[in-house]
Structure 1
Amino acid sequence: MTALQDLKYAQWFKGADIDGDGFITQRDVRAMSERYLDARNTPHDSTTAHRLTAGMEEFWINVIAPMDQDGDGKVDLREMTQGFKQALTDPAHFPEQVEPVSNCFFDLVDLNADGRIEQDEFQLMFHSIAGAPREDCAHVFAALDKDGSGALDRAEFHQAVKEFFYGNDPDAPANHLFGRIAA
């Protein structure tokens, strides 16, 4: 794990710690879903809401909860960083480690189901779920839109997520996916 990855993971942690208490709990993960549904004006009893809630529950069970080394039901920054360090060692494992969650978010963020995430959809997701400032979202989106199409296709989105979790390039725009980091 590099110092850059530590910075990125700390930024991710900051966005996931919804209540700001220094821990990620199952309640924080649920709150991420609720914030996104509220930002989309999506009823909490809709099919979309149930799908997001189920996906985030799986994320808690399969990714975050196993990082809880002391069994207290919450994950602090040290536990999360150690968990990522142990789990995310090789980008070749992206398809089984991160891609399923990434696909779920891509499908949910693609509000008009056209197979692309436009800038407004991107900003809604990263601002409402991760708390990333809107101006950071716009800058990052422009850098990630490699083909200049005005939207991210699934491949561009996966590349950004993969670069965030596994990458070590200090100039990669995906470093700031969950808000600007101070590198």
Structure 2
Amino acid sequence: MTSTAPDVVRLKLGRTFDTMDVNGDGYVDWSDYQQLTDRYISVFGLGRNDPRAGGIQAFYQMYWQELLRHAQPNGQRLSRDAFIEAHRLASVDTSRLNIVEGCGHAIFDCMDTDGDNEISREEFENLLRKVWKISQPDAIETFRRLDLDGDGRVSRQEFIRAAHEYFYSNDPDAPGSLLFGHL
């Protein structure tokens, strides 16, 4: 008897969909992403004219368009399966937007409120608890795993590495796979 290894990337993207589907209607649309963008701006105290606010807004608008471009034609909303498949396709198609790199940098820029090119545990907790509305203790503890050099801060490079692991790694224990807690 053979068993099939779990598709960890699918599980992670499914978790992202569940978090994004704010109203629980089984679909994600632009309004869900606009709410997410508004939370970034509010939580990290970005003024509407702050380049980081414009950056996160512009990134998510392009990100959303890439998801729609890679989804089967079905209007302006995505079901769970369409969302997962569109993410898989968009994450490897860098012809218009590299969503993995762009996502990591745009989010990092918002979190790095003091501009020191590192994020503190508090900044990371704000991302999870206040922006993504995730409070699982194992997700909060992920900060320690993301801090590869153990200096108590997550550098931009460490965070971008985690973004790559989130989108591409089938290792459920990779630090980036744990961004929102254990699967």
Could you say which residue in structure 2 is the equivalent of 1:81? 84
How far apart are the structure 1 equivalents of 2:156 and 2:21? 27
State the number of aligned residues.
Answer: 178
Gaps of 5+ in 2: none
| TM-score normalized by the length of structure 2 | 0.84
My pick for the range that moved more, 15-24 or 29-38, is 15-24
CA contact (8 A) 2:27 2:80 kept: yes
Q: Structure 1 residue 107: deviation in Å?
A: 1.3
Partner of 2:25: 21
Q: Partner residue of 1:145? A: 147
For structure 1, the 5+ residue unaligned runs are none
CA spacing shift, 1:129–1:20, aligned 2, 3 Å: farther
Change (3 A) 1:143 1:131: same
- Answer yes or no: is 1:49 the counterpart of 2:50: no
Task: Specify which of 71, 94, 99 is matched with residue 101 of structure 2.
Answer: 99
- Equivalent residue number for residue 4 of structure 1: 8
Q: Deviations over 1:40-63 (max 9, x none)?
A: 34344544433322222122123x
RCO higher in structure (CA 8 A, sep ≥6): 1
Indicate the residue corresponding to 1:109 in structure 2.
111
Instruction: State TM-score, norm by structure 1.
Output: 0.84
Tell which deviates more after alignment, 2-11 or 126-135: 126-135
- Structure 1 stretch 39-48 or stretch 67-76: which is displaced more? 39-48
Q: 1:55 to 1:135 in 2, by over 3 A?
A: same
C-alpha separation between the residues in 2 aligned to 1:49 and 1:86? Answer: 27
1:37 aligns with 2:41: yes
Query: Once the 2 structures are TM-superposed, how far is the Cα of residue 154 of structure 1 from its aligned partner?
Result: 1.3
Distance 1:101 1:69, change over 3 A: same
**Residues 1:71 and 2:71 are matched in the alignment:** no
| Cα distance in 1, alignment partners of residues 56 and 35 from structure 2 | 11
Are the aligned partners of 2:142 and 2:178 in contact in 1 as well (CA < 8 Å)? Answer: yes
Q: Residue 98 of structure 1: SS of its match in structure 2?
A: helix
Contact 1:67-1:80 within 8 A present in 2 as well: no
Identity of aligned residues (%): 26
Partner of 1:180: 181
Alpha-carbon RMSD: 2.6
Counterpart Cα distance in 1 of 2:6 and 2:90: 14
Tell me, in whole angstroms, the C-alpha distance in 1 between the residues paired with 2:131 and 2:91.
22
Is the partner of 2:141 in helix, strand or coil?
helix
Once the two structures are superposed, residues 18-71 of structure 1 have per-residue CA deviations (whole angstroms, 9 ceiling, x without a partner) of 333221111111100111222234344544433322222122123x22244233
User: Residues of 1 paired with 2:51 and 2:98: CA distance?
Assistant: 25
